[in-house]
Amino acid sequence: MQNHLTDATVYNLSPQQRTVYDYLMSGRELTRQVAINTLHVQEVTTRISELRRLGLDIKSEWKRDFGGTRYKSYHVEMSK
């Protein structure tokens, strides 16, 4: 697994895959709510799975909001 994709692979991403990829590569954490409300991507888990299949090393972590509801957060560890 790698923390980036080749230029040729990025060029061939679908629009939603590219949106999710660009967001993750900006160093931010992605949640389902951000994907739906900000990026307008409904099936974030599908897009994450597709990007993982292409070789992107996307980490995930379960978290809890202030009300105790669990949610999953996705990120890519950036090289220093």
At 70-80, the pLDDT tens digits run: 999 999 998 76
- Report the pLDDT averaged over residues 13-34: 97
Q: Which domains, from first to last, does the chain contain? A: 7-76 (1.10.10.10)
**Interval 35-80: pLDDT, tens:** 999 999 999 999 999 999 999 999 999 999 999 999 999 999 987 6
User: Mean pLDDT across the chain, nearest whole number?
Assistant: 94
What residues contact residue 34 under an 8 Å CB cut-off, 6+ apart?
A: 23
Cβ–Cβ under 8 Å, residues 23 and 39 = yes
pTM (2 d.p.):
0.90
Query: What one-character DSSP code corresponds to residue 67?
Result: T
User: CA-to-CA distance for 65 and 43, rounded, in angstroms?
Assistant: 21
Give me the pLDDT at residue 80, please: 61
